[in-house]
């Protein structure tokens, strides 16, 4: 049997706003196996980050988890005591945020921010407080070397603003991996980076994943990134999962029109004459949504039958799609 690390079942996360109740995550269910890399794809506002902020216990008022279960290595996280959550975060589950510059504390050196995590969670540190800090400092330096910071000894006591965007992302990864977590959630780790640095950061995560046997969730807009680095993929739209399955199968033969739209919007070097086809329209407001397919207003194959609640259905080995009329005009290389 597969060794399941994370299991999310029927998760519903809401925010009470002036305009009404916003259901940012609506009935999301997924699982992650040990050592697996899962890609989570969708437009801004699709619920990707909120789903995994819920996993990390970071949803605060006016947000709340209205329904569902989140189990990490058979431990239920919904309703977990805040003290127990603090022991879990950073040690067993770690998350890198989208914008490293705002996620890192500008008033502390990068070394202090790594050392802080080690002092809080690393049970192997022994001796007096001074001795523990010395050991943590040595480990923090090793982490900066691991993530490829050039001349880490000379950069160790620099502040976040003294690093480039790519280097800040590496520092974020160093903080996340300091205690060798069993699960890393990378929330758009390559946002605003050029393609060369993006590739370096992704290769770094892939290499450390293999070295530590760690499970990874990679949140991104880019199906091209998912195609290269992820074993399985989940496609989200307006708070729901609309398609999931093995990455190669989903990209080669997408079943949901939204997944097809994402693929059609990617330029391909193999066909430079091909026009990029953006998805028309915008993501719907998540307040008081009607009981119908949420992609209906943007879908070219919408029919009256779509004006009802659409459940996930099987569409192949280990594949599911939220569509009454699944099918594809053809996949392609990414």
Confidence of residue 264 (pLDDT cuts 50, 70, 90): confident
| Cα(251)–Cα(241) distance, integer angstroms | 16
A 10 A CB-CB count for 80 gives: 16
Per-residue pLDDT reduced to its tens digit, 8-40: 999 999 999 998 999 999 999 999 999 999 999
Helix (H) or strand (E) holding 87: helix 82-88
User: In terms of DSSP H, where are the helices of 157-280?
Assistant: 165-177, 195-212, 223-229, 247-252, 257-264
A 10 A CB-CB count for 11 gives: 23
**What does the angle CA 38 – CA 2 – CA 258 come to, to the nearest 5 degrees?**
30
**What does the angle CA 50 – CA 117 – CA 220 come to, to the nearest 5 degrees?**
30
Longest alpha-carbon distance in the chain: 70
pLDDT at position 331, please? 44
| Cα(191)–Cα(166) distance, integer angstroms | 10
Q: Position of tokens 């006016």? A: 62
Q: Rounded mean pLDDT of 241-257?
A: 95
Per-residue pLDDT reduced to its tens digit, 267-297: 777 777 778 888 888 888 898 888 899 999 9
Per-residue pLDDT reduced to its tens digit, 162-218: 998 889 988 998 999 889 899 999 998 877 677 887 888 888 889 889 888 899 999
């Amino acid at each position: 049997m597969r060794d399941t690390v994370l299991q999310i079942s029927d998760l519903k996360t809401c925010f009470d706003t002036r305009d009404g109740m916003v259901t940012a995550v609506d009935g999301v269910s997924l699982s992650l196996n040990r050592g697996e890399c899962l890609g989570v794809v969708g437009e801004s506002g699709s619920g990707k980050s909120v789903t995994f902020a819920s996993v990390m216990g970071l949803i605060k008022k006016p947000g709340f988890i209205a329904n569902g279960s989140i189990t990490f290595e058979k431990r239920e996280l919904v309703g977990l005591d805040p003290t127990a959550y603090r022991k879990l975060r950073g040690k067993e589950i770690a998350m890198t945020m989208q914008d490293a510059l705002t996620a890192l504390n500008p008033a502390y050196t990068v070394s202090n921010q790594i050392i802080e995590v080690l002092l809080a969670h690393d049970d192997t540190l022994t001796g007096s407080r001074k001795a523990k800090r010395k050991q943590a400092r040595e480990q923090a330096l090793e982490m900066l070397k691991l993530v490829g910071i050039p001349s880490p000894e000379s950069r160790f006591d620099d502040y976040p603003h003294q690093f480039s965007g790519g280097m800040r992302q590496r520092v974020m990864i160093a903080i996340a991996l300091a205690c060798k977590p069993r699960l890393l959630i990378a929330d758009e780790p390559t946002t605003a980076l050029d393609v060369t640095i993006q590739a370096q950061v992704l290769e770094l995560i892939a290499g450390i994943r293999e070295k530590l046997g760690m499970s990874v969730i990679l949140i991104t807009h880019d199906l091209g990134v998912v195609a290269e680095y992820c074993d399985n993929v989940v496609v989200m739209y307006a708070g729901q999962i609309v398609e999931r399955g093995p990455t190669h199968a989903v990209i080669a033969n997408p079943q949901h029109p939204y997944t097809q739209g994402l693929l059609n919007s990617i330029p391909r070097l193999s066909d430079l004459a091909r026009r990029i086809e953006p998805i028309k329209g915008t993501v719907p407001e998540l307040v008081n949504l009607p009981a119908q397919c949420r992609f209906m207003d943007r879908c070219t194959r919408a029919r009256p039958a779509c004006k009802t609640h659409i459940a996930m259905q099987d569409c192949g080995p280990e594949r599911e799609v939220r569509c009454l009329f699944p099918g594809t005009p053809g996949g392609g290389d990414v």
